[in-house]
Chain A
Amino acid sequence: MVTTKGSFAVEDMKNVQINIGAVVKEEEEWDQPMGPYPKPNVATLRDWDFKLANRYKIFYAPADDTCTLCTYGPCDLTGNKKGACGLDMAGYCGKIVLIACLMGCCAHAAHGRHLYHWCLDRFGDMKFDMGDEILVDSPLYQTIMGTKPKTLKEFGDGLSYVEEQVVQLMAATHTGQEGYYGDFESKALHAGMLDLLGMEICDMLQIVAYDMPRGAADAPLIEIGMGTLDQNKGVLIAYGHNLAAGAEAMIYAEANNLWDKVDIGGVCCTAHDLNRIGLAAGNPSIPKNIGMKPKVAGAMGWWRKMVRSGVMDCVMVDEQCVFCDVLEDTQKRKIPLIATTDKIMLGLPDRTNDPVDQIVDDLVNFKMPGVAVLDPKKAGEVGIRTAIAVKPKRSEAKAQNLITDTQFKEYLEKCTGCNQCVFVCPPHTNIGDLIQEAVKGNLEPFSALYETCVGCARCEEVCPQGIPIMDLYEYANRDYIKGQKFKMRSGRGPARDTEIRAVGAPIVLGTIPGVIALVGCSNYPKGTKEAYDMAKEFADRGYIVVTSGCMAMDMSLYTNEEGKTIWEQFGGAFDGRNVCNVGSCVANANIADAAIKVATIFAHRNHRANFDDIADYILSKVGACGVAWGPYSQKAASIATGCNRLGIPVVVSPHSVMYRRSFMGRMDKPEDWMVIDARDGKMQQIEPAPEAMLYIAETKEEAMLEMAKLCLRPSDNSMGRSIKLNHYCDISIKYCGKLPDDWHIFVRDAKDLPITYKDKMMKELEEKHGWKIDWKNKKITEGPLRPADVSFDPTNIPRKIRAKK
């Protein structure tokens, strides 16, 4: 039952127990009535999911042919055969996809749950206040839950909701439960949506508790790169995603004036969040601007390169995206390790209740390789004190672990050219060739391909000669590491309401050609520079470029001919020709939030408990495209799936085939592209825009072409369509040498044609596609699928029809 009023009547009731959890009083404080779907259950939005799946056909690329999930197995499912339980290959893939999305969703939600308890313990309950310029302050929460949290404590309702739904979804993966692939995918879309909510809760909690920027386009530039870590100080690395222990380390260093003795470097998303702390001016418990003091060591893909470079003295790991052999890496190099959450304990003794002095003494004297300290405050103090005290004691170990000229040559000579390493290298680097060149004294190939190496170290695992190939990379790039010093704009958090008001109409009409969200991890097809190239291409073209996480870090490592990083070339606003870093992985929620805010702030759509309506609006009118270039974890899969449910298409890299599932439209099926015109309820065929929901691109060039195409929307006005088509065609000319084969499909009127190509295109329309052209008036008289109509109001939801019967 949904209660929308704050009162009810009780008459003639006896022996009835009434439990009142929360009386909903929102209506008088919120100008939106409760929408149809507060706290949707597993099947509530199934109709919307099936609408998506009907247009964007579920596509599977199975990674294996057998199922081994129960004792009947292994079952051979080749050719979509059924296994003993009755599940066919499509169903099996759907089950694996759902499990993967649940893994990702749980990682963020559990992160949020930890932060929830920690923040309330550490700071007490606080008012949820995003400042005067962000009044739509938790768009996903409001769209899904139908309520507005007013304090941090009230976010507990959202976490409980996510946790309940996750249990229901996980149950459906048990043998003998769900059997239809379409329903597995509806459930996966549900998990993706829950993931977006979990991320938003996480980021809202930490923004308020840790006084992070609230939509600061001018968030400060901070230092990034291994070369920024001061080797005259003890270097403490905070590695993972949860800022709690790293923040305490910073506060301890600040309180005890230790910054001249210690440097803190973040790896992966903890880096982003440490650098956001205290950059607003709200929480007196947080020293102002303390987030300027730590460095960003780098993205998770650089971990094995960093640890081999000898730049670190002590490591704290928290959660998510931590290589499972981190202890082996640190132990070998006598780098004390502190595990700070119960997600990752690595077999280490739990020393949470021991005195700090004793723990530090044990670590500094190498009595144990690491400890688990689950109290963030204590872990932070242990980390700082250990990093400072162990530094002089590590000098010998540090020297021993950096290979010498002689060792380098010896290792090179051991290579037999068997190419086992190439067989396992994700980007297929021909390591044997690099070694052959190095034997000749040419280290340039080792340097040139350093950024292409994704840091997986599978080459070392298979080398029959035991050559430490990652160490060879380190040796050949020692000078590069020392000089790796760049700038990155600190995570700004959400888009401000005023920014949305300014860009809402241009986005929906198409005059800002699109919003490009570059997110992802380390598994790039051809190296980290592709992150920079993509951001620059689209920012130069006037798109709103948004980024986060490791992708934001990786794009920071390159400069233009003037020596400027991407952040120094472009502003940080949510606006065309800007590149804005929203923050860490959980800050990705701010990107989905911005799309919702276009619907609710610009278009005045009621978003409260109204998920499918908002998703329908975004799908039809908000030209946004997510790009997960280099995703490696299940979190990336669930984020992309959540974006898909919200109507945002996503382009992923070729490694993403391991996620097994994508959503692809059929351009040859007109019936798949029928929408309702909300003005009068009539059905109208639209051009395939966007043509896919989850698209796998082989190369950066293909990805960019598709990104431009996926920003096309049926609501574009002629000027907007012309601008979008211009970029689509222009990118094709630039990288493919010709116009794309399908540009004409998106033309509704001569005014849609880009001015640059207009005459050439009109000629081609007439000669190649048989359209009729009035050359005198330069008009198309016959041919397009539909006319351009600025007031056309496409929707996929019948309840949006406005005409009265």
Chain B
Amino acid sequence: MAGEVKKGIDTTKNAIPFEMAQIPGPEMAKTYMPKVIGAIIKKAKRPLLVVGAELFDDPVMFDKIIEIGKTGIPIAATAHSVKGFVDRGYLDNVYQIGLHPLTAHLRFDDWIGLDGKGNYDAVIFMGIFYKFANAMFSTLKHFNRNIKRVSIDRYYHVNADMTFGNMAFIPDDYHAAVDEVIEALKK
């Protein structure tokens, strides 16, 4: 029955930049539901999950990321976030690299990638200092539009293609939304 269909967490609300003055121009990110974002990531041929040091502020996210990693999506652990993976004994497809050098390489279509198999067609950001992630999305937005920019962070990321709305102050909903993404990836 239609009434029993689980709608899931609404991640499309609060579509205002987490840093309010980050209004870049005519092209701004759209917010999507977790299932849609999950489906888009799953459809990508060469996705890369990029995570940062804010994960230490909410350690349960490491476990969720490892779940994503286990679906086959490689993980770029930026800043010193790789420590979280070392502590959990998961390094199977985890690469230690700074977000800045990573983005610098992502600009070039001929980059060999972290595994030597070529550049990526989708990057998914999560757990990265907002201003920094926003700027790196901006680089890709302007200088390599072949890569889809996806955020599953708790912020509305204005320079992404696809993002959640701001969920920084509703951590339970945010966790549930990420779980829905994971569920979609596993389907």
Contact = CB atoms under 8 A, between A and B. Distances in A.
A658 B131 CA distance: 9
Contact of B105 (A61, A76, A655, A666): A666
A60 B52 contact: no
Contacts of B111: 666, 668
Q: Which of A57, A61, A90, A697 has the most CB of B within 10 A?
A: A61
B132 A696 contact: yes
Interface stretch (A528-536, A732-740, A755-763): A732-740
A655 B80 contact: no
Contacts of B43: none
A426 B134 CA distance: 13
Contacts of B44: none
Given A424-B20, A666-B105, A698-B129, A740 B100 contact: no
A216 B41 CA distance: 60
A705 B80 contact: yes
A736 B80 contact: yes
B21 to A, nearest CB: 7
B79 to A, nearest CB: 4
Contacts of B142: 60, 62, 65, 77-80, 89
Nearest to A702: B79
Given A662-B100, A668-B111, A78 B141 contact: yes
Contact of B86 (A419, A701, A736): A736
Contacts of B37: none
A78 B143 CA distance: 9
A696 B138 CA distance: 15
A741 B97 contact: yes
Given A61-B135, A63-B138, A741 B96 contact: yes
Interface string A61-100: 1111110000000001111100000000110000000000
| A77, A423, A424, A655: most-surrounded residue (chain B CB, <10 A) | A423
B104 A57 contact: yes
B100 A736 contact: no
Contacts of A65: 24-27, 141-142
Contacts of A79: 141-142, 145
Interface in A501-549: 525
Contacts of B108: 666
A370 interface: no
A422 interface: yes
A654 B26 CA distance: 25
B132 A741 contact: no
B169 A419 contact: yes
B84 to A, nearest CB: 9
Interface in A256-310: none
Contact of B98 (A59, A90, A706): A706
A641 B27 CA distance: 31
Interface size class of B (residues with CB under 8 A): 35 or more
A685 B124 CA distance: 35
B185 interface: no
Nearest to A741: B96
A738 B96 contact: yes
Contacts of B107: 59
Nearest to A61: B135
A428 B130 contact: yes
A559 interface: no
B158 to A, nearest CB: 10
Given A668-B105, A741-B96, A424 B25 contact: no
Nearest to A428: B130
Contacts of B103: 59, 61
A60 B139 contact: yes
A692 interface: yes
Interface string A634-658: 0000000000000000000011011
A695 interface: yes
B25 A66 contact: yes
Interface in A689-704: 691-692, 695-699, 701-702
A664 B100 contact: yes
Interface size class of A (residues with CB under 8 A): 35 or more
B61 interface: no
Contact of B83 (A80, A692, A737): A737
Contacts of B87: 737
A236 to B, nearest CB: 36
A419 B16 CA distance: 13
A127 B64 CA distance: 68
Interface in B82-110: 82-83, 86-87, 91, 95-101, 103-105, 107-108
Given A428-B130, A655-B131, A697-B79, A702 B98 contact: yes
Given A65-B25, A80-B142, A702 B80 contact: yes
B80 A654 contact: no
Contact of B143 (A60, A462, A668, A692): A60
Contacts of A668: 105, 111-112
Contacts of B10: none
B101 A698 contact: no
Given A698-B79, A705-B80, A657 B131 contact: yes
Interface string B114-143: 000000000000001111101110110111
B9 interface: no
Interface string A412-447: 000000010011101010000000000000000000
A688 to B, nearest CB: 10
A655 B100 CA distance: 13
Q: Which of B20, B96, B107, B108 has the most chain A CB within a 10 Å cutoff? A: B96
A423 B53 contact: no
Given A65-B25, A695-B98, A701 B139 contact: no
Interface of A: 57, 59-66, 76-80, 89-90, 419, 422-424, 426, 428, 462, 525, 654-655, 657-658, 662, 664, 666, 668, 691-692, 695-699, 701-702, 705-706, 735-738, 740-741
Interface of B: 16, 18-21, 23-27, 52-53, 78-80, 82-83, 86-87, 91, 95-101, 103-105, 107-108, 111-112, 128-132, 134-136, 138-139, 141-143, 145, 168-169
Given A64-B24, A698-B53, 4 more contacts: A79-B142, A525-B129, A668-B111, A696-B132
Question: Which 3 A/B pairs are nearest by Cβ-Cβ distance?
Answer: A65-B25, A737-B86, A657-B135
28 contacts: A61-B135, A61-B139, A62-B24, A64-B23, A65-B142, A79-B141, A79-B142, A89-B143, A423-B16, A423-B18, A423-B20, A428-B130, A658-B131, A666-B104, A666-B111, A695-B100, A698-B53, A698-B78, A698-B129, A699-B129, A701-B53, A701-B79, A702-B79, A706-B98, A735-B83, A736-B80, A738-B96, A741-B95
